[in-house]
Structure 1
Amino acid sequence: MTLGLDTAVGDGPQGPDGPEVPVGGASEELPAGWARATLGELGEWFGGGTPSKKRPEFWTNGTIPWLSPKDMGPDVLAATQDLIHEAALDEAPVKLVPAGSVALVVRSGILERKVPVTYVPFEVTLNQDMKAVVPYRGIDGRWLAWAIREREQYILENCRKRGTTVASLEVPWLMSAEILVPPHEEQLRITAEVERQIARIQAGEAAAGAALLNAITLSEQVTTQGSRGCLEQVELFSAPLPKADVDDGPIPDLPAGWKWSRLGEFASVVGGVTKDSKRQDDPRYVEVPYLRVANVQRGQLALDNVTTIRVPPEKAETLRLKCGDVLLNEGGDRDKLGRGWIWGGQIENCIHQNHVFRARVIGNEIHPKLLAWHANGFGKAWCDRNGTQSVNLASISLRKIKLLPVPIPPREIQEELVKTIELHLQNVAVARAMAESALAHAQDLRASLLHAAFTGALVPQNPADEPASALLDRIRAEQQAKAPRKRTARKPRTAPPGQEELPS
């Protein structure tokens, strides 16, 4: 799969790894006609606010877009889902931002990894987690949006507040971030070329994304159909399953010799440990690693961040995981219910928390992989139907998970069936790896493109363009002229005019 980037990126001076001018203008020499400025010098900054939800008239028959972080796409405005009434503009926190602004998110969990920013061609209002900058005359808004994207890594490393619950940017630090400014005409040339190249990259990303989705879907089909013996054309028969007080939904037919059974009939299923914060200092307790919902993914275990817990020795012994145990999530987001995978003994003396079930197959009734694959496929919809939902948490009870219907194949075919499924998965994994590699390459192309664009290597400089230094001098002069004059404080008098004390 090819993700094209035209040779224009390499038109400027090249080193062995790309343009010689470092990112962010750290070099002593600037491209011809360029100058340095801070983001705060390039436009007027606007804050946001939320109209009162207690005033329905502010949110009825609205015509003014109200942007929040959810509306931001990777390169452009993804959507404008909320409209407010102009009456809301009378509220102090809500300000109308002129068309042609650059909006960016300054408070959101997404700031842990990226800074959403976009050019907005129409009038908008913003929520309190966003800022907008309206460029001064001579600064192209679309160029400025791309320039901020190019500085994303610098902003994340140098402008993000530390120690806050939700990731956020320190706006004064953001406004003081320095960028390189080309002449106005070159800004337009850069923007046109960047957007032409980005369109090509996006086309490649769309193809790679579709291929990745197809690979994921095919992988799920292989495990779901394979765990029911349906990878090949076989005759299917109705297999009985006694009713239980759960919603099983449609029960698929099975090949000859297969049967339906409920999880608790052939596996020991237990919940995990609940952390007792008040007794973590108990000297009798032992410290052991334990798995949380985040560690138990669909079809794999994520063990790069496993925490520890102190529990009674007998609890550590009872819940110690053994190779072949199938781990299934009890709670979390609704789409996480029942997802899981098999413990392979990667960590000694590891146990599991109360939001993770452990199913230990009794008497080799079923291969653990067949059980895990089935739980991740059929079990996903089954747990969704039978789970419960609180305000922030979905869960399924131990009693109910024991009633999960599971297809049991004849023992003599199970090993060969697992090998067949894994062979199909290996073939799908090749296609998935290619798609993931293409998407990663697209990110590299974006970085290279923006690096070239904002170090003067993407489009040629034109000596006839007005230098950026002259443009910035004009902007600074105009803003200084608009600034209110500071009144000089007078020295306080000790007596009214005309009544000053005379020396004695």
Structure 2
Amino acid sequence: MGSDTGKSFKCEPRPAAPDEWGIVKVSAMTWGEFRPDENKALLNEGLINPAYEIRSGDILISRANTVEHVGAPVLVGNVRPRLLLSDKSLRFQTGSGVDRKWFVYWLRSPVVRKAIAAKASGTSDSMRNISQPDLKAIAVPVPPAAEQSRIADILSTHFTRLDAIEARLRAAQRYLERLQDFVMTAAATGVLAWDANPQHMPIASSPAVRDGTLPPLATGWRWARLQDIADVAGGVTKDSKDQHDQDLPEVPYLRVANAQRAQLDLSHVTRIRVTPKILDKLRLRDGDLLMAEGGDRDKLGRGWIWEDQIEDCIHQNHLFRARILERATHPKLLGWYVNSAARAWFEANGKQSVNLASISISKVKLLPVPVPPQDEQEQADFVELGQRVLTRFEHLAAACEKGLAHASALRRLLLAEAFAGRLVPQDPDDEPAEDLLKRIRAEREAAEAERKAARRAAAQAKRKRLTKPKASAPADAPPPPTPITDTPFPEGEQTTLPLEFTK
């Protein structure tokens, strides 16, 4: 089975227009189905080799990708024209009689995924590479052609059912997320209580921020700016000169990755050296709310409450800390609001750079926040009610995650059984696989002989052109005219010739 790869080109970040050539991106081959719109417009179209145009029925893999996806295959269905392989993609060319769907399923099987993971080079999980020789070295257990079709058919049937189950589970997850948003907002504004009387309450506008439409509050609640009810501070800046002093204490600190939506992920907490003065200033306290300063625009402000999980822990400058003053509100009420209704406010007031968004501490201090009545027991009642409802949603979300994990395990099991010869029965009347392999070898030898003949013919034609005597001009012929031009060609300039893709 042959394979070829594309060439590196100069491209624009935008997708190619219908009349332009495009270069396929790694993301087009990552998620199990080919995504032709994941491409970049080609700038140097003079280097195009149409032999590397992607066509319907091609089997593609990304040879450079994450650990999870490097070498993962896709079967191209309907594809837009004028789309080329990139230098990070490979195309497999199967011999006649090899079922393409079967071959793609084989590339997805656990034994192949394990072999690719073992051979992929690179030390970073963000990008690994697999070479053509390493892929070609993987042994393929080839069954008869008829059995290939039976395997592909039964896997397609089972996978279609699993696709439907997974789609429903993901839809349920999205629905639960919307319900969680609703409950967090309702709890944080007091309207979750059955006897609440929702009403729209005004807040003094500020020219520095855009508040937009704020949700209604229960009777007795009011709006305030975050700076009115909490002390808001940034964290430690990484890579300052003090952090290289081995005599300073090393303490744990939280990064943006630790601040997830309505939860803190403490599975990986790094450490940093700081002066005792900075430690005293930034040491987190029980009830502090942490909020993300930067990242994707829809992630601004996400985070959760610190509950003294780690001793002497601080936070970096890309996290804001809000410390509630004089028990103005319960930390969970504030945290629920920040992670639900306030998300639109953070998006509206964030600043977008090329790749990341951010929001300044001066704006975060002006975040409108709902303030409950001062009765602490009443605040505790709101928290208890909200927590009780949200816990039920968390159980349902965990069940969805468990179902998705079970579906993924079933896929791996089906593939393992299929390529161990245990998923479909063998038929003694099938054409032996050895006959199929003989035909494939004969086809490859004939194709190679044809290519060699074509190369010899091209070489002979080139030699004839070079040895053909040039006709001499008559002695009385006038000299050729001098081209009229305002600017001569720069030295060495010539017309661009098409280049071959590197195999």
**Normalised by the shorter chain, which TM-score bucket?**
0.7 to 0.9
Code of the aligned partner of 1:210? A
Mean CA deviation greater in 343-352 or 176-185: 176-185
Unaligned runs of 5+ in 1: 1-42, 486-504
Q: Which amino acid aligns with 2:137?
A: S
Q: Contact 1:51–1:91 at 8 Å: present in 2 too?
A: no
Report what 1:423 is aligned to: 388
Query: Residue 209 of structure 1 aligns to which amino acid in structure 2?
Result: R
Q: How does 1:322-333 map to 2 (within 5 A)?
A: 322-333=285-296
Distance 1:286 1:169, change over 3 A: same
Aligned equivalent of 1:231, options 192, 214, 217: 192
1:49 maps onto 2:7 in alignment: yes
Q: Percent identical across equivalent pairs?
A: 38
1:444 is paired with a residue whose SS is: helix
Question: Residue in 2 aligned with 1:242?
Answer: 204
Cα 1:65–1:187 shift into 2, 3 Å = farther
> Structure 2 vs 1, CA of residues 59 and 221 (structure 1 numbering), >3 Å: closer, same or farther?
closer
- Cα offset, 1:131, TM superposition: 0.7
Measure the CA separation in 2 of the matches of 1:462 and 1:430. 48
Q: Which residue number in structure 2 is paired with residue 11 of structure 1?
A: none
Q: Is the 8 A contact 1:342 1:369 kept in 2?
A: yes
Distance 1:94 1:86 in 2: 18
Counterparts in 2 of 1:94 and 1:317: CA distance versus 1, 3 Å = farther
The farther-off stretch of 96-105 and 354-363 is 96-105
Q: Structure 1 residues 252 and 219, CA, compared in 2 at 3 Å: closer, same or farther?
A: closer
SS of match in other structure, 1:45: strand
Equivalent residues in 2 for 1:418-457, closer than 5 Å: 418-457=383-422
Contact 2:28/2:35, CA 8 A, preserved across alignment: yes
- Residue 133 of structure 1 is matched in structure 2 by 92
Map 1:171-210 to 2 at 5 A. 171-210=132-171
Q: Cα gap change, 1:155/1:324 in structure 2, threshold over 3 Å: closer, same or farther? A: same
The 3 A distance-change label for structure 1 pair 98 and 372 is closer
- AA paired with 2:244? D
SS of 2:310 mapped into structure 1: coil
Aligned-pair CA distance for 1:125: 2.3
Give the CA deviation at 1:470: 2.8
Distance 2:161 2:46 in 1: 40
CA distance in structure 2 between the partners assigned to 1:356 and 1:397 by the alignment: 11
- Of residues 96, 100, 125, the one that matches 2:53 is 96
Change (3 A) 1:87 1:53: closer
SS of residue paired to 2:304: strand
1:103-153 per-position Cα deviation (integer Å, ceiling 9, x unaligned): 1111123x3456431112467522222111011112111111111011453
Residue matched to 1:380: 343
2: distance between equivalents of 1:158 and 1:426?
41
Query: Aligned partners of 2:212, 2:257: CA distance in 1, in Å?
Result: 28
Quote the Cα distance in structure 2 between the aligned partners of 1:179 and 1:430.
Answer: 43
Conserved? CA contact 1:50–1:94, under 8 Å: no
Residues of 1 paired with 2:130 and 2:347: CA distance? Answer: 38
Q: Partner amino acid for 1:290?
A: Y
Cα distance between partner residues in 2 of 1:84 and 1:135 = 29
Determine if contact 2:372/2:379 at 8 Å carries over to the other structure. yes
**Inter-partner Cα distance in structure 1 for 2:112 and 2:193:** 50
C-alpha change, 1:346 and 1:101, in structure 2 (3 Å) is same
Deviation, structure 1 residue 97: 4.4
1:155 to partner: Cα distance:
3.6
CA separation of 1:238 and 1:68: change in aligned 2, threshold 3 A: closer
Report the AA paired with residue 393 of structure 2: V
Q: 133, 148, 172: which is aligned to 1:211?
A: 172
Q: Is the 8 A contact 1:331 1:355 kept in 2?
A: yes
Q: State the 1:199 CA deviation.
A: 0.8
The correspondence for 1:70, drawn from 27, 51, 63, is: 27
1:465 aligned onto 2:423: no
TM-aligned CA distance change 1:202 to 1:61, over 3 Å: closer
* 1:432 Cα deviation after fit: 1.4
2:121 equivalent to 1:161: yes
SS of the aligned residue for 2:128 comes to: coil
User: After superposition, where does 1:9-24 map in structure 2 within 5 Å?
Assistant: none
CA distance in structure 1 between the partners assigned to 2:436 and 2:172 by the alignment: 47
1:90: how far off? 4.8
Query: TM (normalized to structure 1)?
Result: 0.81
1:350-396 CA deviation, whole Å, 9 max, x = no partner? 10000001111111111000011111112211111111112222111
2:10–2:42 CA contact under 8 A, matched in 1: no
Deviations, residues 282-303 of structure 1 (Å, cap 9, x unaligned):
2442211100000011111111
| Pair 1:318 & 2:281 matched | yes
| Aligned-partner residue type, residue 428 of structure 2 | P
Contact 1:46 1:97 in 2 (8 A): no
Q: In 2, are the aligned partners of 1:61 and 1:84 still within 8 Å (CA)?
A: no
* Distance apart, 1:61 and its partner CA: 4.0
Q: CA deviation at 1:476?
A: 2.8
Check conservation: 2:59, 2:92, Cα contact below 8 A. Answer: yes
- What do the CA deviations read for 1:165-218 (whole angstroms, capped 9, x no partner)? 622223321221123111111111111111011111111111111112111221
1:108 maps to amino acid: N
Runs (5+) with no aligned partner, structure 2 = 453-503
| 1:275 and 2:231 are equivalent in the alignment | no
Letter in 2 for 1:148: L
Q: Distance in 2 between matches of 1:119 and 1:276?
A: 47
Secondary structure in 2 aligned to 1:461?
coil
Let me know the Cα RMSD of the aligned residues.
Answer: 2.8
1:56-76 deviation per Cα after TM superposition (whole angstroms, max 9, x unaligned): 9x9554387753222236443
Secondary structure, counterpart of 1:261 in structure 2: strand
**Is the Cα contact below 8 Å between 2:63 and 2:70 reproduced in 1?**
no
Paired amino acid for 1:120: V
Equivalents in 2 of 1:89, 1:134: separation in Å? 26
User: 1:91: Cα distance to partner?
Assistant: 2.5
1:475 maps to 2:440:
yes
TM-score (norm 2): 0.81
> One-letter code of the match for 2:174?
L
Q: Which moved more, 1:246-255 or 1:79-88?
A: 79-88
Residue 3 of structure 2 aligns to a residue whose secondary structure is: strand
* Separation of aligned partners in 1, 2:439 and 2:114: 28
The whole-number CA distance in structure 2 between the counterparts of 1:371 and 1:393 is 25
1:475, CA displacement in angstroms? 2.2
Paired AA for residue 342 in structure 2: G
Shift of 1:482: 4.3
61 and 333 in structure 1: CA distance in 2 versus 1, 3 angstrom threshold? closer
Letter in 2 for 1:241: I
